[in-house]
Amino acid sequence: MSYDFNTIEARWQKYWAENETFKAENNSAKPKYYVLDMFPYPSGAGLHVGHPLGYIASDIYARYKRHKGFNVLHPQGYDSFGLPAEQYAIQTGQHPALTTKENIARYREQLDKIGFSFDWSREVRTSDPTFYKWTQWIFIELFNSWYDDNTNKARKIEDLEAVFEAEGNTTVDAVCDEDVYEFTAEQWNGFSSKEKQEILLKYRLTYLAETEVNWCPQLGTVLANDEIVNGVSERGGYPVIRKKMTQWSMRISAYAQRLLDGLNTIDWPQPLKDSQINWIGKSVGASVTFNVKDHDEIIEVFTTRPDTIFGVSFMTLAPEHDLVQKITTAAQKEEVEAYVEATAKRSERERMADVKTISGVFTGAYAEHPFTKTPVPIWIGDYVLAGYGTGAVMAVPCGDQRDYDFAKHFEIEIPNIFEGVDISEEAFSDKENTIITNSDFLDGLKYKKAVKTAIYELEKLGQGEGKTNYRLRDAVFSRQRYWGEPFPVYYIDGMPQMIDAKYLPVELPEIEKYLPTETGESPLGRADVWAWDTVSNKVVSNALIDDINVFPLELNTMPGWAGSSYYFNRYMDPNNNNEVFSKDAIDYWKEVDLYIGGSEHATGHLLYARFWQKFLFDQGYVPVDEFAKKLINQGMILGTSAIIYRVSGTNAYVTKDLKDQYETEELRVDVGLINSSDELNLEGLKQWQPQFSDAEFILDSGKYIVGREVEKMSKRWFNVVNPDDICNNYGADTLRLYEMFLGPLEQSKPWNTAGITGVHSFLKKLWKLYHNGDVFEITDVEPTKDNLKTLHKTIKKVEDDIENFSFNTSVSTFMIAVNELIAQKCNSKAILEPLLVLISPYAPHIAEELWQKMGYDMSISTASFPLFNEKHLVESTKQYPISFNGKMRFTLELSLDLNKDEIEAAVMAHEKTQQQLAGREPKKVIVVPGKIVNVVG
């Protein structure tokens, strides 16, 4: 029987499922290892060959670790709440619960076909009430916590209340809203309950606040900053506008510094760390206050260059700045208002596209320089952003190019405070080579010293202090959507109240119309049964809301990243109904050892998950404050689209090489119609779509050759390759090997089905090597030296490759090994057995099949990884290339038994070497045993 992969793979997939071969135990004498994939959104399109790339890599590693004697946790689940699932439901007009269920079933079927070693008994779905019960629970925990900057950790809100009762808030050093004012213990104790609640809300780690948010009318929801790309929504590409709304927010800014520090302790790709560092955007400098002349107002600015304070010649406020209205003089009022209105109209995108145009207006008001007390004109300009720092800057035109351009444009004075620097053409922003001058007490100082001195003097004046500023904003946590986790929150007198954890989950209500609204009301507002009864502790009909103990529930739902911020911990104890996870389970598994997923989550999921982990760590629920020790970003597999060229205005299509003779337009056609030499199947095309049924073709030597374009795999480009088709035609083992063979894991690469025959024929050769006709045949004869050499070379290489996640080269190594064994006519059991263990992480089905045929009744996954023995690699002689003065080269064959000195002597004694060296004294002879002999003249 030839290699019948369909039968073999179906049999072993069934065997693994029935025997729960990959079930992980929460207790084991073996060391633990946790391999995690980023769980998928079950979208309607199903998987294409690009999706499983990371899963195959993690599966190889998980299977390898089992062979190495680890108790491996390798789970999988679905991120089934959120925009993608809901968008698909809206498109198909079906309820998201239904489409999600169907999509998950489809995903599962596709995943099973590829033969992953997932422990499906631990599956989680974020949209399942038994899961989101714990998402709600963590939300409540966050609500009941505040961040103490003294101890640098989150603490219980009761602690804060106790401090307020005893000392007021003047001694508290907490991360909180900017508008909290100071109060004493007496004042606190005199506040009403509602006043107390309002104040506490400003300290909680998740809080309700009216904030300016990114509103996307087409999607009918707000978006987080990381969900916006180039000013439009990441999903769908719709415009986003700024809008004030009352929203739940997560005080992630409290963790800014720890999120930065933690990066040094984890093995994640540098580009990913860089983008998180960038996103957090720490800058160190000073906060400086300027008094406004003839007003009581002060302007606070943040600057990274307090050393240039004597270079200030004007100030600029963002057009949205609160002070603009207050300080503008009557004479300037009209002009200022016109400008403010004009900028407000411009969308984020227009502002970004139009960076080069300099615009601004003078307010007529002046600030007072803290040291010189000279008047400083106050301008407004849209190059200053309301959302960063204080929304105001002290402009130092000689040291900052934007200030310089603004000053030049409006003919504002540009004083020079840098010694020996020409600023007639541009600003001078080189910190390192700065010597300050014209700056009173800062004269002659260099950058670092000047910064310190300036801050010291500002503090003495009470007009400034050293300050660190972060770009990271608190994350908006409300979505005006149906398909998400409901908040465990109801409102009494407008103040949010948490539902007691013992009554969770608060389940998503059934509603008929779940479509989002353009105006911003949440679809949950349409639910009839969506009120909270504080007596029965149940969700009840809205009609009862007039009852004294029935209150309205929160109408928003949580964003897509809620469930994904802790799911990795839930896998450790997924069926626990009493706790999010037991202490035993979390203490045993601790953290993810290897996490594989795409880099697109760098500033979303991966930042939020780190934040929640640190919070859970502060609360003592998890033993480590980084959830994933090592992370790898797999690259994307791209599609290779096929392009045909239609002669304009006709239904004739011209082959690629002749297209320049015509005026043509490009059309993409199904890649399934193209053979391995880029030739188009003309009959197939005619049947593919009606528009081609009477197409004519202009051919070159009877062939139509298509153009190729590498781009994202997508239905709209007709370049999607389905893994099911590959599994049916070549088998899952071939798919797995080929995806690895395509290139380095981290790299993006185009899919090309043509090349798959290479790895497929490797499997056929492997099969044939141990079969005589239809009969499985191996021998017990002692392996030869050559057999052992092939085997141990392979063990060494494959082990190194897996440890370095360089899976592509292992596949080549297997091919070489099998070719060598075929040449050696080796079907020795002593070789096959370890060889199968090496291959089994990559091609598990064929390995199991041959393993069983050898007579084992246990799964190959229980076998140990073979030990490498170097002695089998040693050759009796080796050819040494010798180079002399870079020009003359010859090889010398020497016995490997020789030691270093003997090789050296042999080289010197060699006739040709002596000729080369004639007349020259060699300075030294470098001999590296097993490597190359080097003669240095």
Looking at 305-426, list the stretches that DSSP marks H as alpha helix, in order from N- to C-terminal side: 323-327, 333-345, 348-353, 401-410
CA distance 244 to 666: 45
Contacts of 710 (CB under 8 A, 6+ apart): 638, 639, 640, 641, 750
Q: Can you name the residues that pair with 289 across neighbouring β-strands?
A: 300
Residue placing its CB nearer to RNA in the complex, 357 or 648: 357
Tokens 């073999």 found at: 8
CB of residue 635 vs RNA: minimum separation in angstroms? Answer: 8
CB of residue 754 vs RNA: minimum separation in angstroms? Answer: 4
Residue placing its CB nearer to RNA in the complex, 335 or 600: 600
CB 802 within 8 A of CB 811: no
* Phi (first) and psi of residue 506, to 5 degrees: -90, 110
Residue placing its CB nearer to RNA in the complex, 73 or 631: 631
**Which residue, 265, 303, 269, 298, is CA-closest to 283?**
303
Looking at 242-322, list the stretches that DSSP marks H as alpha helix, in order from N- to C-terminal side: 256-262, 270-280
Contacts of 33 (CB under 8 A, 6+ apart): 62, 65, 70, 71, 72, 73, 593, 594
Relative to beta strand 360-368, strand 375-381 is: antiparallel
Residue placing its CB nearer to RNA in the complex, 106 or 749: 749
Residue placing its CB nearer to RNA in the complex, 194 or 900: 900
**Which residue, 790, 853, 857, is CA-closest to 826?**
790
Give whole-number Cα distances, 349 to 220, 341, 383, 471, in Å: 19, 17, 14, 19
Which tokens is 487 given? Answer: 């908040």
Element (DSSP H or E) covering residue 492: strand 489-492
CA distance 357 to 769: 72
CB of residue 196 vs RNA: minimum separation in angstroms? Answer: 34
CB of residue 793 vs RNA: minimum separation in angstroms? Answer: 10
CA distance 433 to 632: 40
- Can you list the pairs that 159-163 forms with residues at least 24 positions away whose Cβ atoms lie under 8 Å? 160/200, 160/203, 161/196, 161/200
Please tell me whether residue 319 adopts helix, strand or coil conformation.
coil
Which tokens is 285 given? Answer: 């400098």
**Which residue, 530, 638, 634, 623, is CA-closest to 581?**
623
Residue placing its CB nearer to RNA in the complex, 532 or 884: 884
CB of residue 163 vs RNA: minimum separation in angstroms? Answer: 33
CB of residue 385 vs RNA: minimum separation in angstroms? Answer: 4
Please tell me whether residue 395 adopts helix, strand or coil conformation.
strand
CB of residue 248 vs RNA: minimum separation in angstroms? Answer: 22
DSSP 184-240: -HHHHHHS-HHHHHHHHHTTBSEEEEEEEEEEETTTTEEE-GGGEETTEETTT--B-
CB of residue 576 vs RNA: minimum separation in angstroms? Answer: 36
Residue placing its CB nearer to RNA in the complex, 303 or 859: 303
Residue placing its CB nearer to RNA in the complex, 130 or 883: 883
CB of residue 24 vs RNA: minimum separation in angstroms? Answer: 32
Residue placing its CB nearer to RNA in the complex, 204 or 797: 797
CB of residue 653 vs RNA: minimum separation in angstroms? Answer: 22
Give whole-number Cα distances, 172 to 199, 201, 468, in Å: 13, 15, 19
Residue placing its CB nearer to RNA in the complex, 388 or 697: 388
CB 34 within 8 A of CB 593: yes
Contacts of 464 (CB under 8 A, 6+ apart): 286, 287, 288, 289, 306, 370, 455, 458
CB of residue 654 vs RNA: minimum separation in angstroms? Answer: 22
Residue placing its CB nearer to RNA in the complex, 43 or 812: 812
CB 129 within 8 A of CB 523: no
Contacts of 773 (CB under 8 A, 6+ apart): none
Contacts of 391 (CB under 8 A, 6+ apart): 317, 318, 320, 321, 384, 385
Residue placing its CB nearer to RNA in the complex, 575 or 885: 885
Residue placing its CB nearer to RNA in the complex, 127 or 287: 287
CB of residue 465 vs RNA: minimum separation in angstroms? Answer: 14
CB of residue 6 vs RNA: minimum separation in angstroms? Answer: 16
CB of residue 604 vs RNA: minimum separation in angstroms? Answer: 9
CB of residue 452 vs RNA: minimum separation in angstroms? Answer: 16
End-to-end Cα spacing for the chain: 63
CB 34 within 8 A of CB 628: no
Residue placing its CB nearer to RNA in the complex, 444 or 937: 937
* Overall residue count recorded for the chain in this entry: 937
Element (DSSP H or E) covering residue 637: strand 637-647
CB of residue 357 vs RNA: minimum separation in angstroms? Answer: 8
Residue placing its CB nearer to RNA in the complex, 30 or 448: 448
CB of residue 819 vs RNA: minimum separation in angstroms? Answer: 6
Please tell me whether residue 752 adopts helix, strand or coil conformation.
coil
CB of residue 324 vs RNA: minimum separation in angstroms? Answer: 14
Residue placing its CB nearer to RNA in the complex, 498 or 892: 892
